Amino acid sequence: MSDRVHILVVDDEKVVREGCRRVLCGQDYDVLTAENGEQAIKILSQDYVDIMLLDLKMPVMSGEEVLEAVRSSHPQIPVIIITGHGTIDTAVECMKKGAYDFITKPFQIDQFLLTIERAVEKRRLEDQARQLQQERQRNLYDLYLEKSRLKAIINCMANGVMVTNRNLEVVLHNPALMRLVEITEEIQNPFPLNKVISDQGFTESLKDIQASEGATRHTITMEMSRGQRCLRAISAPALDPRGHVVGTVTVLEDITPFKQLDQMKSDFVNMVAHELRSPLVSIRQQNSVLLEGLAGPLQPKQEEFLRKGLKKIDGLLDLINDLLDIAKIEAGKALQHQVATDIGEVVKDMVYFMEPRAAECGITLRCECERLKPVLADRKGIEEVLNNLITNAINYSPDGGQVEVSAKDMGEYLEIRVTDTGVGIPPEELPKIFDKFYRIKHPKTRQVMGTGLGLSIVKAIVEAHRGTIEVQSKPNQGTTFRILLPFIEK
């Protein structure tokens, strides 16, 4: 790390870029700017950068895509997410994926500079640790003898650090580790791992790392509870000068605030959804009474207004139901009744149910199902998946055409396909279609109502069934969604 810190500000708003430049240059930082993700990636390939400030919502490449690219090519660069109040959830998700911190617009200068200073200090400490590691390529007992040289560094870290040997004895740790595992007594190295962490899953993961060699070496990330805390442990192999695994290095991070934030978000969604749904249902019932003429005859214009209002209420109820579904899925409470299920029967029932709607739109709806082995599934969940996919196939085939739903045996997996001949999806849109609230824009489908949550719900339900979903599409030729679900093991 050079004497002057180089900071790259990536934001599509010029006023934000220039504001950051003025504040940071006044603190003796060197500042580079980019107005989109592609420019940022190009700058990283040409210039030295210590810290990155990254906006989430940008054209060309989203902040999440840039973060993924930076974590892959420049993992040493701390990335600070710039977010508005409406995208804090996404910023939290980015931190789970490796971002260092986030700041919200509009900035408070003191907090903004404090966040930058912490990131600079983190980068400086990591660089110092990396230099020491390069200089000292010795085994773990050499590391124990040299602990005085590392003690100043690891004692300054907020995250817990722990090094174990082949016998799963802790040979190096810092005070933050003892604080995170809620142990107040002083323990001298080396000591058994289970004296501080008795989680069996964690112990097994360290054994797996020690058993790995060559190309099979890997890093393991897992979560565990310790008292009121929720900890995330990232473990990697420790190597001797000959490249042999002689132990493990683990970093523990307290993610309790993020878990609490997730719970607060879910509780808020549930509260708002329930508080809104009751009055909307009441209003819908009253409008239905009026439309049915039970309160007296209506003029044509009055009936038209009521029908339009009813349609808008139905749209709001769909949004509320989708929000509740998302909250249940994220809380792990969506699929409560997974039993042996005949998916072929579910597919046929859903196609039969959707045929009248397809016929109204001039679309031929076909079904092709083989005789299939049972799948461990929640029937209501699979019905919701099929309902979303078939509805989308119909809605995005405005010129008529054909929608085909099939299910067949693929050996260890059951394959479900939903294929249409509609408007298709542009290649640049495909990576985003499962994102929450993301909707495909097409001139022929502007009238299609929706929340942008359907495919996100579909993906979550499929993954909860230990399955996968993928999409293939060509503009103006159609789209195919392909789902793979594992058969019940005998």
Q: Where are the domains of the chain?
A: 6-131, 137-253, 258-330, 339-486
Is the distance from CB of 76 to CB of 51 less than 8 angstroms? no
Rounded Cα–Cα distance for residues 104 and 427 (Å): 32
pLDDT in tens, 445-488: 455 556 677 788 888 888 888 889 999 988 888 899 999 988 87
pLDDT for position 336: 55
Average pLDDT (338-366) is 87
CATH no., domain 137-253: 3.30.450.20
Q: State pLDDT tens for residues 289-311.
A: 788 777 778 888 888 888 888 87
Q: What share of the chain is helix, strand, coil (3-state, %, to 5)?
A: 50, 25, 30
For 10-23, write each residue's pLDDT tens digit: 998 888 889 999 99
Residue 332 has pLDDT above 80, yes or no: no
pLDDT of residue 305: 84
Buried b (16+ CB within 10 A) or exposed e, 185-210: eeeeebeebeebbebeebeebbeebb
Give Dmax (Cα) for the chain.
92
Would you state the CATH architecture of domain 339-486?
2-Layer Sandwich (3.30)
Residue 152 to residue 262: CA distance in whole angstroms: 35
Lowest mean per-residue pLDDT among 27-36, 93-102, 124-133, 159-168:
124-133
The first and second tokens of residue 356, run together, are 């009248």
| 427: three-class secondary structure by DSSP | helix
Strand 220-226 relative to strand 363-369, pairing: unpaired
- Give me the pLDDT at residue 141, please: 60
Mean predicted confidence (pLDDT) in 375-382: 85
340 band by pLDDT with thresholds 50, 70 and 90? confident
Task: State how beta strands 51-55 and 6-10 pair.
Answer: parallel
Contact (Cβ atoms closer than 8 angstroms) between residue 317 and residue 288: no
Residue 453: per-residue pLDDT = 76
Residue 99 has φ and ψ, to the nearest 5°, of -65, 150
CA–CA dist 295, 365 (Å, integer): 40
3-class DSSP state of 157: coil
Alpha helices by DSSP H, listed for 47-158, are: 63-73, 88-96, 109-135, 140-145, 147-155
Burial code of 387-412, b = ≥16 C-beta within 10 A, e = fewer?
ebbbbbbbbbbbeebbbbbbbeeeee
Report the topology of domain 6-131: Rossmann fold (3.40.50)
Express as a percent the part of the chain with pLDDT over 90: 6
Distances (CA, A) of 50 to 31, 76, 158, 180: 10, 8, 20, 29
How many other C-beta atoms can be found within 10 angstroms of the C-beta atom of residue 85?
7
pLDDT at 88: 75
Is the pLDDT higher at 193 or at 263?
Answer: 193
pLDDT above 70 (res 342):
yes
- Calpha distance 117→199 (Å, rounded): 35
Neighbours of 72 (CB within 10 A): 9
With CA atoms as reference, report the closest residue to 452 among 328, 296, 315: 315
Residue 443 has pLDDT above 70, yes or no: no
60: alpha, beta or left? (left if phi > 0; alpha if psi -120 to 50): left
Alpha-carbon gap, residue 393 to 389, rounded angstroms: 6
According to the model, what pLDDT value does residue 8 have? 92
CB within 8 Å of 74: residues ≥ 6 apart:
44, 49
Q: Average of pLDDT values for 238-255?
A: 85
Rounded to an integer, the average pLDDT of 227-245 is 83
* Cα atoms in the 13 Å half-sphere on the side-chain side of 40: 32
Task: Please name the helix (run of DSSP H) or strand (run of DSSP E) that holds residue 203, with its range, or none.
Answer: helix 200-211
β-pair type (30-34, 6-10): parallel
Lowest mean pLDDT among 76-90, 347-361, 375-389: 76-90
The HSE-up count of residue 113 (CA atoms within 13 Å, CB side) is 12
CA distances, 207 to each of 138, 139, 238, 417 (Å) = 21, 18, 12, 41
* 148 pLDDT above the threshold of 70: no
Res 149 pLDDT > 70? no
Cα–Cα distances (Å) from 329 to 269, 422, 460, in that order, read 12, 30, 7
User: Residue 139: pLDDT above 80?
Assistant: no
Output the pLDDT for position 33.
92
More confident residue, 403 or 145: 403
Element (H, E) at 329: helix 300-330
Average pLDDT over residues 279-285: 79
For residue 418, the model assigns a pLDDT of 92
- Examine residue 192 and say whether the peptide bond preceding it is cis (omega within 30 degrees of 0): no
pLDDT of residue 481: 92
* pLDDT value, residue 442: 58
Query: Cα–Cα distance between 238 and 170 in angstroms, integer?
Result: 13
- Nearest CA among 117, 95, 68 for reference residue 254: 95
Q: Is the pLDDT of residue 267 over 80?
A: no
Q: Is the pLDDT of residue 142 over 70?
A: no
pLDDT at 118 over 80: yes
Summarize pLDDT for 30-78 with one digit per residue, the tens: 999 999 989 999 999 888 888 999 988 888 888 888 888 888 888 889 9
Q: Which amino acid is at 144?
A: Y
Taking a C-beta distance cutoff of 8 angstroms, is the pair 232, 190 a contact? Answer: no
pLDDT of residue 136: 59
Looking at residues 97-118, what average pLDDT do you find?
Answer: 86
